[in-house]
Structures are given as C-alpha cells and as structure tokens.
Amino acid sequence: MKKTGSRKNARETAFKMIFQMDVGKNTLSVAEETLNEAVADGLVEERDRDYVLALVAGVAEKKEETDAFMAKHAKGWTVDRINAVEKNLIRLALYEIFYLKEIPYEVSVNEAVELAKSYGDEDAYGFVNAVLDNARPEKADGEKLR
C-alpha cells in the first residue's frame, strides 16, 4: 500500500481484515490490529477508521446474501471451492454494490479487480470481474446499465 491515506488504502485494509476473519477465523478485535497498524503507518487516515470498520462489519453481516449471489454467478464453482482471495474480494465488492449506493458500481468493480491483480492468482482478476459483472445495477425496465 502507498502512503496516501486514500479510500483505496482503506478498502485494501478492509479486505485484509475480512480475509483474516474468514481464513484465519480471527475475531474482529484481532483483525482490527491490521487497521491500527495501517493508521499508525499513515496508510489509512484516522477519519477512514469508521469506514473500514463499517465495511468489515457489513461484509460479515451480509455474507449469506453475497455468498448466495456468488454461488449463483460463479459458473461451475461452489463458494467453498473459490480461492479465499477472490471470494473475499467479491464479498467486499458485492457489499459495496448492493448496500453502499454512494459508491459507483464501476469503482467497486475496478478496486476489486486491482486488488485481485495484487493478491490473487494470475487469472484471479478475470474471475472477480466476471462474477461482479452480474451485479451491474439495472434500470427500472430491467435493462443493465452500461
């Protein structure tokens, strides 16, 4: 992470916390040490602390819904077989897309794809992008926005 204190770094920190809670079965209080370190290192601004915690809590709260969407749209994959990096990036992006309307769809997808390039396997970003393409908001008539 760059020392910019941007929302991008806040999102990356939230991803790391979500990953730790999923894979490491860490509690929120243990995962919160990642946030404390990011703030101390100047990677996440203090003002973004609540945003990071809200993302992490929201992903945990809506895990059942996001996993159901993932199961439906990850063709040929069950959620438990999806690599942990991709699975948790998709959960984070889906939470933003479905529940944080102030974040544009394109931003959520782009950030998830970029994080997949950094943390996932070689083709992880394509899988993440393909699943998230199915979450594109629709117009009132059901047509997908482009």
- Report the C-alpha gap between 135 and 110 in whole angstroms: 13
Residue 2, pLDDT > 90, answer: no
Residues in Cβ contact with 5 at an 8 Å cutoff, skipping those fewer than 6 apart: 42, 43, 44, 45, 48
pTM of the entire predicted model:
0.89
Classify domain 62-146 at the CATH class level. mainly alpha
Convert the pLDDT of each residue in 94-137 to its tens digit: 999 999 989 999 999 999 999 999 999 999 999 999 999 999 88
